Amino acid sequence: MERMGLCIQLKPDVVEEYKRLHAAAWPEVLDAIRSANIANYSIFLKEPENLLFAYWEYMGSDFAADSARMAEHEHMQAWWRICEPMQHPFATRRPGEWWARMDEVFHTG
């Protein structure tokens, strides 16, 4: 299992819509996430900065392949078409990232 943390900014004019959308996440999107071996997926919002922090546990052995398969899912693509315009990615993110991947610096279990 690998813990992963990611962050992105949320545009200020869509905060309530983003919350509403995620309060009723589509079952097909949730299934696609689980199919990609992702568990315990959470998104946190820090206002007023509108910083989104995502956390999940990757249970598989090939994250790139699982991510690619999830990206092919039609409902996931539709979900991203709605969510991505609401987000403002960091200029410092790594090539190929939308959400910026964070390095784990501490964990206690």
Instruction: Please choose, from the candidates 28, 11, 19, the residue with its C-alpha nearest in 3D space to the C-alpha of residue 85.
Output: 11
Instruction: Please choose, from the candidates 13, 2, 8, the residue with its C-alpha nearest in 3D space to the C-alpha of residue 80.
Output: 8
26-45 pLDDT, tens digit each:
999 999 999 999 999 999 99
Instruction: Identify residue 1 by its one-letter amino acid code.
Output: M
72-88 pLDDT, tens digit each:
999 999 999 999 999 99
Q: Is 75 annotated as catalytic?
A: no
- Taking every pair of Cα atoms in the chain, the longest distance, rounded to a whole number of angstroms, is 38
Q: Token pair of 9, please?
A: 């900014």
Find tokens 């309060």 and name the residue. 23
pTM above 0.75, yes or no: yes
Neighbour tally for 76: CB within 10 Å: 20
Q: What is the CATH topology of the domain spanning 2-100?
A: Alpha-Beta Plaits (3.30.70)
Q: Locate the domains of the chain by residue range.
A: 2-100
